Structures are given as C-alpha cells and as structure tokens.
Amino acid sequence: MNKHIPHTTIDLICPKHQTPCEVSFQLDLFTDAEHGVEAEACSEFIGPVTCNKDCEHAKEALAAHVMALAQHRYELGQIGPNVIG
C-alpha cells in the first residue's frame, strides 16, 4: 500500500458474489471516480484481490472517492494561496 495515496475501507455488497464484504480502496484524487478507485484488499480474499473488481464501480466506492476528493480540496484550501506544494 502506498502511504502517500489516500485509502478508505468500506463495507459493501459484492457485485459478483452478492455477499457483504469489507473492501479497502486506494483513491487516486488526480483522476475521476470511474478511474481513480482501486480495490487493494477484500475480506473475500486472503491475498491480493483476484476477481474482476466490479466493486470499484459500486456507488459506495464512488461516494468514498467523492468524499476523499472534497476533503483533499478542503485541506489544500487551508494551506493558503502563496504556498507551492
């Protein structure tokens, strides 16, 4: 897991198995929600997520991306206009 990229863990219903899962997503805030959510871990798998990761397109995953993006923009706004970084 890259510690410089935001992550979130949410509970959702797996689109493939129709079972409740806990999924950890990496959220890339420099792309849109359709391409900026990557499933890194899931309670259905012991190791890497090896399904076709349809959960990345679930409404819960997209909402998590939108919330993380809003938080990121808020934090950037707190830095100030004269700071490059």
11 Cβ contact partners less than 8 Å away, ≥ 6 residues apart: 20, 21, 22, 23, 60
Locate 16 and state its tokens: 């493939």
Locate 81 and state its tokens: 């206009």
Count of domains forming the chain: 1
Question: 23-77, pLDDT tens digit by residue?
Answer: 999 998 888 877 889 999 999 998 889 998 999 999 999 999 999 889 988 888 8
13 Cβ contact partners less than 8 Å away, ≥ 6 residues apart: 19, 20, 21, 58
Any domain includes 1 = no
Any domain includes 70 = yes
Supply the pTM of this predicted model.
0.79
Any domain includes 85 = no
